[in-house]
Amino acid sequence: MTKAQAHRKRSISARKRSSAKSLPEVEGGNSEVVLYEAPGGEVKLDVRLDRDTAWLTQAQMADLFGRERSVVTKHLRNVFSDGELAEESNVQNLHIASSDKPVAFYNLDVIISVGYRVKSAQGTRFRQWATRLLREHLVKGYTLNQKRLAERGLSEARQSLELLARTLRNQALVDDTGRAVLDLIVGYAATWRVLLEYDEDRLTVPGPGSPARGVLDYERAFAAIAEFKRELMTRKEASGLFGNQRGEALQGILGSIEQTMFGEPLYRSREEKAAHLLYFVIKDHPFSDGNKRIGSFLFMLYLQQEQITHNLNPQALIAMALLIAESAPANKELMVRLILNLLAGDGATGFTAASR
């Protein structure tokens, strides 16, 4: 081995040993530094991530490709002079805390070009690693940005709702029912974040609930509805059409609440059964007239039977029934979870206080 070859080998080895050291801190920089380690561990580099790309200095590229720095400098000069890449948009000069003058950093496009010119297998592996890492960072950054925008939107929407509700109440522009709907929306606004988390598969359903003590028997429901109808007709609050069943629709709804799948209840808790009972009676129209009132009545009857404690007052129940009736079928799960959260007390306390 000649003296020149020995000197070159010592120089490259020294650079490899020093490459594992942390890159000096950039003054005022917001970039991220990630460690790159070659599969065999022979090269370790602190790679700077900024502006959606990776950046290395000339010295780091020399270590990566296993070439003298003068070779890297020559190829860099040719990349720019041949017009392959524009120097001004692919190089950034950064002030390093330990350096008296700015240090040039080259982005991934330049690194790939130089790696191709020196025919470096290590450069190919670095390109694959950097591309994968940047893709992951872009997806992560997009997701976090969308989440921040959504959360900011929820906060602004809540403030707008509160202002709207206050204006309508103060100016007497809504009746008692309208106020109940507004109070429900505003009082429950604190839990829209919970619903957002549900959409992102991060929502924990409020409590496991409790198993049902029994079933809402059709005969009992039928008799209760008949008594309910007589009471309303006595007060002239219902017509003869009220509570007239459409075929066996009510029996079908009560059966669906108790159905099983693979030997397990489809709706495991009494709270889930109550929520679906209210929703199905209102949306499936099993009666010629009075579906909202009968749905609310059977809902309360079931809560009483199962001894489910709650904070729902009459105005809340009216508002809930109206929201379900006006909701699109695609919003079924949203409505059911709204009922579950109200039964659990999420957002209901503020609503009941506001509606009294």
Residue found by looking up tokens 């007709």 in the block: 233
The token pair that represents 118 in the structure block: 């020196």
pLDDT at 302: 92
C-alpha–C-alpha distance, residues 281 and 286, integer Å: 6
pLDDT at 290: 92
Within 10 angstroms of residue 103's Cβ, the number of other Cβ atoms is: 17
Strand partners, 50: 53
Phi-psi region of 272 (alpha: psi -120 to 50; beta: other; left: phi over 0): alpha
pTM of the model: 0.46
Whether residue 20 has pLDDT greater than 60: no
C-alpha–C-alpha distance, residues 284 and 267, integer Å: 18
The token pair that represents 75 in the structure block: 């190829």
Q: What is the mean pLDDT of residues 250-271?
A: 84
Q: Exposure string (b/e) for 245-280, b if CB count within 10 Å is 16 or more?
A: eeeeebeebbeebeeeeeeeeebebbbbbbbbbbbb
User: What secondary structure does DSSP assign to 310-330, as a single string?
Assistant: ----HHHHHHHHHHHHHS-GG
Amino acid in the structure at residue 310: H
% the chain with pLDDT above 70: 66
C-alpha–C-alpha distance, residues 310 and 347, integer Å: 12
The token pair that represents 38 in the structure block: 């070659």
Amino acid in the structure at residue 314: P
Q: How far is CA 150 from the centre of its chain?
A: 8
Q: What is the mean pLDDT of residues 169-192?
A: 57
DSSP single-letter state for residue 54: E
Whether residue 11 has pLDDT greater than 50: no
- Spell out the domains of the chain, with CATH numbers in brackets: 3-137 (no CATH), 174-355 (1.20.120.1870)
- pLDDT, averaged across the chain: 75
